[in-house]
A = this chain, B = another copy of it.
Amino acid sequence: MHTAKWSDIEGKAVTDPGAEGVTIRVLMGDNVGAPTFTMRHFEIAPGGRTPFHAHAWEHEVYILSGRGKVRQKDGEREVGPGSFVYVPGDEEHNFANAGDTPFTFLCVIPASLPCIK
């Protein structure tokens, strides 16, 4: 068993094209030998966003704090603490901070990722 706090993990800036003000922390993945899926913690600063992109794997997202917008091909949805978002594989999406405090969420992905399409 492995126990820690999200804030114990050193955050890394996401430098993918289109990402702004995004910090990622891998909570449980290769670091604990997780075989099936990986839980990451994202923190998006006010004004920030993840890239609008698609990939073959799914996301399971749970919003922890702040106010955000989830964009998809045909529009946007507002989300806040207690919201969850399922993004199927191959569906375009991004997450943006829509408030003036950090927008934080968990995002779980498969441990083995296929090639980016």
Contacts and interface: CB of A to CB of B under 8 A. Distances in A.
Interface in A47-84: 57-58, 60, 62, 64, 70, 72, 77, 79, 82-84
Q: Categorize the interface residue count of chain A.
A: 35 or more
Interface in A69-117: 70, 72, 77, 79, 82-88, 91, 93, 106, 108, 110
A27 to B, nearest CB: 5
Q: How many copies does the complex hold?
A: 2
Given A36-B37, A58-B35, A84-B28, A3 B106 contact: no
Contacts of A70: 1, 3
A78 to B, nearest CB: 9
A39 interface: yes
Contact of A3 (B32, B37, B84, B108): B84
A77 B3 contact: yes
